[in-house]
Amino acid sequence: MRSRLDWSKARVGAEPRPCVLCGKPALMRSPDRDVPCHKTCAEQWLDQHKQ
Ligand SMILES: [Zn+2]
């Protein structure tokens, strides 16, 4: 089952920063760690790392 994150509270940065997972420019900031990250990348990461 695909992971779905609730990023309704995620902040959007003023300018793109490299995504911590894929390295491409991302405007979104991860809500729990406040790092630049795409929601789709975070969901993929969860899928690969959940037990
Ligand atoms: Zn990404």
pTM of the model: 0.83
Structure tokens at 24: 């491409």
Distance 10 CA to ligand 1 centre (A): 15
Distance 9 CA to ligand 1 centre (A): 18
Ion ligand 1, residue ranges at CB < 5 A: 19, 21-22, 38, 41
Instruction: Report the distance separating Cα 14 and Cα 7, nearest Å.
Output: 17
Q: Which pLDDT value is given to residue 33? A: 85
Instruction: Report the distance separating Cα 19 and Cα 35, nearest Å.
Output: 8
Q: Which pLDDT value is given to residue 1? A: 67
Instruction: Show pLDDT as tens, one digit a residue, over the chain (51 residues).
Output: 678 889 988 999 999 999 999 999 999 999 888 899 999 999 999 999 986
Structure tokens at 11: 């902040």
Compute CA 14 distance to the chain's CA centroid, rounded to the nearest angstrom: 16
